[in-house]
Structure 1
Amino acid sequence: MDRRDEQALDAVKLYFDKGLSQADVARELGVSRPTASKLISYGKRRGYVSIQINDPREARSELAHIIRARYHLDDVRVAHAPREARGDVLRELGTVGAGLLTSLVHDGDSIGISWGDTMYALARELTEYSVRDVQIVQLKGGHSHSQRSTHDWETMRLFAAAFGASTLPLPLPIIFDNVQTKQVVEEDRHIASVLEAGRSCDIAVFTVGDVSRGSLPLNLGYLSEDELTELRSRAVGDVCSRFFTKDGEIAVPSIDERTIGITIEDLTRCPTRLLVAGGPTKVNALRVALSRGIATHLVTDERTAAHLAQ
């Protein structure tokens, strides 16, 4: 720890603990106001201070109560973003999702995780939590054949860092070119053990995708244009890249047969299933997923919750 770290610690204590203004902090430390501001920002980046906002609306809102009863869920948290921009909603979903997940994890748990923008947002909001012998398992392959990133490796790294956990990655594409290749890969002893660990996890943390043109799973280079057209015409969304119709059936069996990772049936056998998702394009997919009993716990945003409660 050098002199800058010591000054930053003094600055954040004065600013956050004592409630001094930046000008007052500058006077106390004998530095300029811009320097005081930089020291406070530096202290936050270094992790010397953490800010937690306890919003009682997350679990106590009428929307949460209605959704919890309608879909027979153990818990529902409604994230209230200060603005409706996608980035703000994702950050708030991540914050609320991370808080709920932390309350569910115990020593010795195995946590199965998917990937995507929402999962990455949750992972970034995780903070260190003192548990022992936790394992993080990747529930589906995440290699991309396009410029779009799944953030699968970084998501797993952040989960592992937060819980001091070991990891079982699945370093594969999610959809193979043909069934034969997928079957050969699944026979590998290591891959088979990771897939079994995913099926046996104590807590599954996942999101739902939609089938809009900007949807991440549809822009990873796995599918032909004809397959994309067929999928968009039949599916309303996906869970762990298992695309389903409005009736909850597999949308395109020929694609599902080439998909590697946990199935919806196996997912629903996990004791605790935390679904984190929001946004107007995911309402239909969420309705189907919740109606099928795929989740035991839900985190969504206020606007999406209002649609689900109708």
Structure 2
Amino acid sequence: MPRQQSLNNSDSLRAAQMYYLQDQTMDAIAHELHTSRSTVSRLLSAARNSGLVQIQIRSPRERTPELEREIRKRFGVDAHVVPVPDTLNEGEVLERVALQAARTITPLVDSNAIIGVAWGSTLSAVSRHLRQKSTHDCTIVQLNGAGNTRTSGITYASEILRRFGQAYSAKVEQFPVPAFFDRPETRVAMWQERSVQRVLRLQERMTMTVFGVGSTDADVPSHVYTGGYLDETDLDELAASSVVGDVATVFFRADGSDNGIALNARSSGPPLALLRNVRRRICVVSGVSKINGLRGALAAGLATELILDEATARRLVEDSATELPTNR
């Protein structure tokens, strides 16, 4: 009887390399690995589900590769464009993008990584599609607090973090502070606490961040704008400062600048300068209605990799005929 092997990443990788790169049959792989053909089939399925193998179908008439090249050329980021039909609503598009994002992120996660994760509608969707990958000494750290006057936000944010931690066998570090403090001086005092400084030091050592782009006018509203985090005075203040979006509750304008935006002094999110220092910064965006926030985030140099739907990618390329100055 052939020896049955456990379904781990090493076995899956070896089987996938033989099948996809060496054109070996499943029978030949089973013989070499001393296992059964059915086990090889499961290994190949595990390789696809974990993101070790990503299958792409390219039509000669499809614009996706062209859009990815144009975005890289114009904005200096690696783009992953998700083809979706124009008939889908934004909720359905979000699910398609979230699934692709989860499959793209997993192969990039390494052991000993410190991964900053923002909370929000987009990351909540991404977290539901994450696949298992074994790592060691990996840490998931919350990028910004989630509390407000209505709720602690712990349940909502912790569920997203829990899914990331569970997927990658990682330690989870929550950030149990408000999303926005009532006064800037309160944040300054809170940032002196040793328990808070421990989380801040982790954020300073992040090797990867994963985040969406918040927008006030998206068809699928960003959680920060619908969850009681901002009142009418805050929203008026953002409009007066020409804010187009946020990343982890830190706001910016269309040109990527964030100086003089008063609400940022009360935000628990990381400074944009800190985010720009992280080696790998994965931005996930779904929906054309977030285009202004996305352009602002790109102008600010916040992303090294971008995962977005095809319609938004087309709009991004078409609207970039007149380049905006960047604040990198």
Give the TM-score of the pair, scaled to structure 1.
0.77
Percent identical residues? 33
Aligned to 1:190: 195
Classify 1:132/1:56 alpha carbon distance in 2 versus 1 (closer, same or farther; 3 Å): farther
Aligned to 1:132: 136
Q: Aligned ranges for residues 31-70 of structure 1 at < 5 Å?
A: 54-56=55-57, 61-70=65-74
The one-letter code of the counterpart of 1:176 is F
Q: 1:231 aligns with which of 238, 243, 253?
A: 238
CA distance in 2, matches of 1:55, 1:262: 35
Secondary structure of residue in 1 paired with 2:266: coil
Correspondence 1:142 to 2:143 = no
Aligned to 1:295: 303
Q: 1:219 aligns with which of 203, 206, 226?
A: 226
Q: Write the deviation string for residues 35-82 of structure 1: whole angstroms up to 9, x where unpaired.
A: xxxxxxxxxxxx9x9699834359962111111121111x21111235
CA distance in 2, matches of 1:243, 1:261: 10
CA distance in 2, matches of 1:173, 1:297: 28
Which sections of structure 2, spanning at least 5 residues, go unmatched? 1-45, 319-328
CA distance in 2, matches of 1:71, 1:56: 25
Displacement, 1:146? 4.2
Aligned to 2:287: 279
The one-letter code of the counterpart of 1:111 is I
Correspondence 1:172 to 2:177 = yes
Displacement, 1:178? 0.8
Correspondence 1:241 to 2:249 = yes
Cα contact 2:50–2:107 (8 A) shared by 1:
no
Q: 1:88 aligns with which of 63, 86, 92?
A: 92
Q: Aligned-pair RMSD on alpha carbons?
A: 2.6
Displacement, 1:230? 2.2
Of 193-202 and 209-218, more deviation after overlay is shown by 209-218
CA distance in 2, matches of 1:89, 1:294: 23
The one-letter code of the counterpart of 2:141 is V
Displacement, 1:219? 2.9
The one-letter code of the counterpart of 2:317 is A
CA distance in 2, matches of 1:162, 1:307: 33
Correspondence 1:307 to 2:311 = no
Cα contact 1:136–1:165 (8 A) shared by 2:
yes
CA distance in 2, matches of 1:283, 1:155: 24
CA distance in 2, matches of 1:199, 1:129: 25
Give the TM-score of the pair, scaled to structure 2.
0.73
CA distance in 1, matches of 2:142, 2:91: 25
Of 87-96 and 58-67, more deviation after overlay is shown by 58-67
Secondary structure of residue in 1 paired with 2:308: strand
Displacement, 1:171? 1.2
Cα contact 2:123–2:211 (8 A) shared by 1:
yes
Secondary structure of residue in 1 paired with 2:172: strand
CA distance in 2, matches of 1:122, 1:190: 29
Secondary structure of residue in 2 paired with 1:276: strand
Q: How many residue pairs were aligned? A: 262
Displacement, 1:128? 0.6
CA distance in 2, matches of 1:262, 1:170: 12
Cα contact 1:243–1:252 (8 A) shared by 2:
no
Aligned to 1:72: 76
Cα contact 1:140–1:261 (8 A) shared by 2:
yes
CA distance in 2, matches of 1:231, 1:101: 32
CA distance in 2, matches of 1:144, 1:121: 22
Cα contact 2:215–2:290 (8 A) shared by 1:
yes
Cα contact 1:59–1:77 (8 A) shared by 2:
no
Q: Aligned ranges for residues 242-261 of structure 1 at < 5 Å?
A: 242-250=250-258, 253-261=261-269
The one-letter code of the counterpart of 2:128 is R
CA distance in 2, matches of 1:51, 1:174: 33
CA distance in 2, matches of 1:59, 1:103: 25
Displacement, 1:296? 0.5
Aligned to 1:5: none
